[in-house]
Amino acid sequence: MQAELEQEYVEFVTARLARMQRIAYLLCGDAHRADDLVQQTFTTLYVQWRRVRAVEYPDAYVRTMLVRAFLSEKRLAWSSRVDLTDSVPERITPEGPGVEDRAVLRDALSRVPKRQRAVLVLRFLCDLPVDEVAELLGCSPGTVKSQTSHGLAALRRLLGAETLAAWDPRGVKGGRVVAPV
């Protein structure tokens, strides 16, 4: 029975690893921190796997675990960690159109408060509806809407409205901004 549970867990994690890494990266803007968040989430998931596998929507449950781990990471001393290298490692950026634009957006997104950043990532980059984001964050739909408004206003201040709208050739559609990251 234990072997079956572990196999089920491995299959679940393998199928969702890339998606969770992308969400974590979009939330924190750093590949190493994103890997740590995903690892922390999947470790917690392993401990709770018997209960989680019975949940109706395990993907939403795990995404909630990831976002909550991100929102509480400051309390876990991320801000006090020290990098023990004598030089900053060179970052390799993928080639292709819009690399600079994505870097500018990620930088601006990293300067938005964490809760607003989480709402923006979940709403616009993960394309989740307001009600699902509210449930995931444990708040009301009105809070999600206000956090979205404040987050977009912060991005507009940081980037300028024209720059923000330029990430989608169609512009802003129905109040939603589509931006490549």
pLDDT digits (tens, 9 = 90+) for 18-38: 999 999 998 888 899 999 999
- The C-alpha atoms of residue 111 and residue 154 are separated, in whole angstroms, by 9
| Range 158-165 average pLDDT | 71
Residue owning tokens 């970052």? 91
* pLDDT at res. 170: 35
**pLDDT over 90 at 39, yes or no:** yes
The two tokens of residue 56 are 């109706």
- Asked whether the predicted pLDDT for residue 116 surpasses 70, the reply is yes
CA geometry: angle 151, 81, 147, nearest 5 deg: 10
Q: Six-digit token pair at 115?
A: 């809760």
Look-up of token digits 């995404």: 63
The residue with greater pLDDT, 145 or 81, is: 145
Q: Is the pLDDT of residue 159 over 90?
A: no
Question: Looking at residues 136-157, what average pLDDT do you find?
Answer: 92
Contact 79, 37 (CB under 8 A): no
Averaged confidence pLDDT in the chain: 80
Contact between 65 and 57 under an 8 Å Cβ cutoff? The reply is no
Rounded to an integer, the average pLDDT of 111-140 is 91
Between 175 and 49, name the one with better pLDDT. 49
Residue with the bigger pLDDT between 108 and 143: it is 143
Q: What is the pLDDT of residue 165?
A: 62
Q: Is pLDDT larger for residue 66 or for residue 100? A: 66
